[in-house]
Amino acid sequence: MKRIFFTLISFSYLATYAQPKVTKYYTADWVETSKDKAAYYADFIQDGNKYDCTSYWINTQSVRSRSAYSDSGMQNQTGLQLLYFKNGHTEDSSLLYNNKLIYSYHYYPDDHLAMHYFIPEHKRQPVVEGYTESGEKIRNYIFQREAEFKGGPENWDSYISQNATKVFFSKGKDTETVTVKVEFIVDKNGDIVSPKILESSGYKNVDNEALRVISKSPSWKSAVLYNEPVNAYRVQPFVYTLLPQTK
Average pLDDT for residues 18-41, to the nearest whole number?
88
Q: Is the model more confident about 82 or about 172?
A: 82
Residues 58 and 128 in one domain: yes
pLDDT at 247 over 60: no
Residue 15 domain flag: no
Residues 41 and 127 in one domain: yes
Residues 48 and 135 in one domain: yes
Q: What is the CATH number of the domain that holds 235?
A: 3.30.2420
Residue 31 domain flag: yes
pLDDT at 89 over 70: yes
Do 115 and 94 form a contact (C-beta atoms < 8 A)?
no
Residue 2 domain flag: no
Residue 16 domain flag: no
Do 210 and 180 form a contact (C-beta atoms < 8 A)?
yes
What pLDDT shows up at residue 98? 78
Residues 65 and 133 in one domain: yes
Residues 163 and 192 in one domain: yes
What pLDDT shows up at residue 16? 40
Beta bridge partners of 90: 84
Q: How far apart are CA 171 and CA 242, in angstroms?
A: 9
Q: Which of 141, 170, 187 is the last residue of a domain?
A: 141
pLDDT at 6 over 70: no
Question: What confidence category does residue 13 fall into, taking pLDDT thresholds of 50, 70 and 90?
Answer: very low
44-54, pLDDT tens digit by residue? 999 888 899 99
Residue 195 domain flag: yes
Do 97 and 81 form a contact (C-beta atoms < 8 A)?
no
pLDDT at 12 over 50: no
**String of DSSP letters for 60-116:** T--EEEEEEESSTTS-SB-EEEEEE-TTS-EEEEEEEETTEEEEEEEE-TTS-EEEE
User: Residue 105: which of 54, 143, 135, 77 has the closest Cα?
Assistant: 143
94-142, pLDDT tens digit by residue? 999 877 899 999 999 999 999 999 999 888 899 999 999 999 999 999 9
Number of domains in the chain: 2
pLDDT at 30 over 70: yes
Do 67 and 80 form a contact (C-beta atoms < 8 A)?
yes
Residues 27 and 131 in one domain: yes
Total residues found in the chain within this entry: 247
Residues 163 and 111 in one domain: no
188-238, pLDDT tens digit by residue? 999 999 999 999 999 999 999 999 999 999 999 999 999 999 999 999 999
Q: What is the CATH number of the domain that holds 46?
A: 3.90.930
pLDDT at 163 over 50: yes
Residues 61 and 94 in one domain: yes
32-74, pLDDT tens digit by residue? 899 999 999 999 999 888 899 999 999 999 999 999 988 777 7
Average pLDDT for residues 167-186, to the nearest whole number?
90
pLDDT at 19 over 80: no
Residues 177 and 122 in one domain: no
Residues 82 and 157 in one domain: no
Residue 156 domain flag: yes
Residues 50 and 113 in one domain: yes
Q: How far apart are CA 127 and CA 123, in angstroms?
A: 10
Non-local CB neighbours of 136 within 8 Å, separated by 6+ positions: none
Q: Which of 96, 112, 141 is the last residue of a domain?
A: 141
Beta bridge partners of 26: 32, 40
Average pLDDT for residues 165-178, to the nearest whole number?
85
Structural domain that includes position 185: 149-222+229-242
Q: Which of 115, 141, 167 is the last residue of a domain?
A: 141
User: Residue 101: which of 118, 120, 87, 114 has the closest Cα?
Assistant: 118
Residue 6 domain flag: no
pTM over 0.85: no
Q: How far apart are CA 74 and CA 63, in angstroms?
A: 16
Residue 79 backbone zone (phi > 0: left; psi -120 to 50: alpha; other: beta):
left
Residues 178 and 234 in one domain: yes
Residue 191 domain flag: yes
User: Residue 4: which of 106, 141, 97, 157 has the closest Cα?
Assistant: 106
